[in-house]
C-alpha cells in the first residue's frame, strides 16, 4: 500500500503543537526532521530522536515523503513553500499537510501552486492544544483527495486521536476549523467576562473557577484558559494575537456568506482591544485584562 511507503516526514514549525506532533512521529517510528527558527526547539527535538534538524527547510527536501506545516498563518505557509522554494526542491508526489489555520481561499491557492510542482496537498487544520499534540491525540479536520489521505495515513495515525474526513474539496477543512475557532474565541472571551465580573464582586477567582468547572457553565476553553487567570500566569501557549487573526478569518468567512455573527464580532473586538493595549503576545486568556476596576491574581514567584 502507498501508505506503507511513507517513512520520512519534516515537521515545519516546532511551536506548542508542532513539537508534540514531531515527537509523536518519532515515537511512531517515522524518520522525523524538524525545521524551526528556534535553536532551542531544534535541540529539544534532536534530543527526542529526530533524524535531523535545521533552520532551513531545503536541507532535507530530497529525502522527504511528507511535510507537515504547523506554522501560524497563510503568509508563513506560503513563505516556507514558495518564497523559500521548498516546493521546487521536494520530489514529485511528496505529500504536504497544511495544518495552519487559514482561509479556504488561501488553502485553494496553496494547493494550486503545489500542483504546479506535482505535489499532493491535504488541507488539515488541527486542534487540541499542546497536551493533546504531545500525546499524539490531536483532532484533525481534513479535506483532500483519497490519494492524500492514503499517503499521509502514517502521519495522521501518529499525530491524531481523531481524523475527520471533510471531503475532497480543498478549503472545507479550513472552513470547519474557522467555525471551530468561532466557538473557541467566544468561549475564552465569555470566560474572561465571567471571571472579571467575579473579581468585581469580590468573589475569589479560584473559588469561582472551582464552581464553574464542576457545574453546567463549564467549557474546555474555560477550564483550560481561566486556570491561567487564577494562576496569574500569562505565559503564551496560544497568544491574544492568534485569536485576533483567527476571529478575523471567522469575520471574513461570514462576510463572504453574508451571514451575521454578533457574538464572534464582540469577541473579536475584545481580543483586538487586548492586543491594542499591549497584551497581544501574552496568552489569549489575557483578554481579561481589558476590564478596568478589577484586581487579578499575580503569579507566585
Count of positions (residues) in the chain? 301
In a domain, 298, yes or no: no
Q: What is the DSSP string of 85-107?
A: -HHHHSPTT-EEEE-S---HHHH
CATH of the domain at 141: 3.40.50.720
Q: Which of 170, 202, 235 is the last residue of a domain?
A: 170
pLDDT digits (tens, 9 = 90+) for 86-112: 999 999 999 999 999 999 999 999 999
**Separation CA 8–CA 15 (nearest Å):** 20
For 245, residues 6+ apart whose C-beta sits below 8 A from its C-beta are 72, 73, 101
Q: Quick one: pLDDT at residue 36?
A: 97
In a domain, 188, yes or no: yes
Same domain for 73 and 149:
yes
pLDDT digits (tens, 9 = 90+) for 51-91: 999 999 889 999 999 999 999 999 999 999 999 999 999 99
What is the total count of domains within the chain? 2
In a domain, 299, yes or no: no
Q: Quick one: pLDDT at residue 88?
A: 97
Same domain for 217 and 83:
no
**Residue 5 banded pLDDT, cuts 50, 70, 90:** confident
Same domain for 121 and 228:
no
**Residue 228 banded pLDDT, cuts 50, 70, 90:** very high
Task: Give the chain's mean pLDDT.
Answer: 96
Q: Which residues of 220-259 are buried (b: 16+ CB within 10 A; e: fewer)?
A: ebbebbbebbbbeebebbbbbbbbbbbbebbbebbeeeee
Domain with 58, as residue range(s), is 2-170
Distance of alpha carbon 17 from its chain centroid, rounded? 6
Q: Check: pTM over 0.85? Answer yes or no.
A: yes
**Separation CA 151–CA 27 (nearest Å):** 19
Establish whether 177 is a catalytic residue.
yes
Calculate helix-pair angle for 104-115, 172-200, nearest 10 degrees: 150
Q: Quick one: pLDDT at residue 252?
A: 97
Of the residues 177, 245, 255, 289, which is catalytic? 177
Same domain for 41 and 181:
no
In a domain, 159, yes or no: yes
Same domain for 203 and 122:
no
Same domain for 191 and 124:
no
**Separation CA 118–CA 112 (nearest Å):** 10
| pLDDT at residue 2 tops 60 | no
Same domain for 24 and 162:
yes
What value does the mean pLDDT take over residues 9-32? Answer: 97
Same domain for 158 and 30:
yes
Amino acid at each position: 500500500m502507498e501508505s506503507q511507503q511513507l517513512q520520512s516526514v519534516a515537521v515545519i514549525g516546532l511551536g506548542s503543537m508542532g513539537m508534540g506532533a514531531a515527537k509523536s512521529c518519532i515515537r511512531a517510528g517515522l524518520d522525523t526532521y524538524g525545521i524551526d527558527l528556534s535553536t532551542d526547539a531544534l535541540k529539544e527535538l534532536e534530543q527526542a530522536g529526530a533524524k535531523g534538524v535545521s533552520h532551513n527547510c531545503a536541507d532535507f527536501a530530497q529525502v522527504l515523503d511528507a511535510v507537515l506545516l504547523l506554522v501560524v498563518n497563510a503568509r508563513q505557509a506560503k513563505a516556507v513553500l514558495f518564497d523559500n522554494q521548498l516546493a521546487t526542491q521536494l520530489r514529485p508526489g511528496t505529500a504536504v499537510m497544511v495544518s495552519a489555520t487559514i482561509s479556504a481561499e488561501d488553502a485553494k491557492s496553496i494547493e494550486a501552486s503545489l500542483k504546479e510542482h506535482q505535489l499532493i496537498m491535504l488541507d488539515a487544520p488541527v486542534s487540541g492544544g499542546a497536551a493533546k499534540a504531545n500525546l499524539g491525540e490531536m483532532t484533525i479536520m481534513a479535506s483532500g483527495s483519497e490519494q492524500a489521505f492514503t499517503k499521509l495515513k502514517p502521519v495522521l495515525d501518529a499525530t491524531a486521536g481523531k481524523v475527520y474526513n471533510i471531503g475532497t474539496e480543498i478549503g472545507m477543512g479550513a472552513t470547519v476549523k474557522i467555525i471551530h475557532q468561532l466557538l473557541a474565541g467566544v468561549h475564552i472571551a465569555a470566560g474572561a467576562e465571567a471571571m472579571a465580573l467575579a473579581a468585581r464582586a469580590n468573589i475569589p477567582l479560584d473559588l469561582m473557577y472551582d464552581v464553574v468547572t464542576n457545574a453546567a457553565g463549564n467549557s474546555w476553553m474555560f477550564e483550560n484558559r481561566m486556570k491561567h487567570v487564577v494562576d496569574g500566569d500569562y505565559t503564551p501557549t496560544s497568544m491574544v494575537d492568534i485569536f485576533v487573526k483567527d476571529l478575523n478569518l471567522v469575520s471574513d468567512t461570514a462576510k463572504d456568506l453574508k451571514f451575521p455573527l454578533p457574538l464572534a464580532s464582540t469577541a473579536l473586538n475584545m481580543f483586538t482591544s487586548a492586543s491594542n493595549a499591549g497584551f497581544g503576545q501574552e496568552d489569549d486568556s489575557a483578554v481579561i485584562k481589558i476590564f478596568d476596576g478589577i484586581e487579578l491574581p499575580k503569579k507566585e514567584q
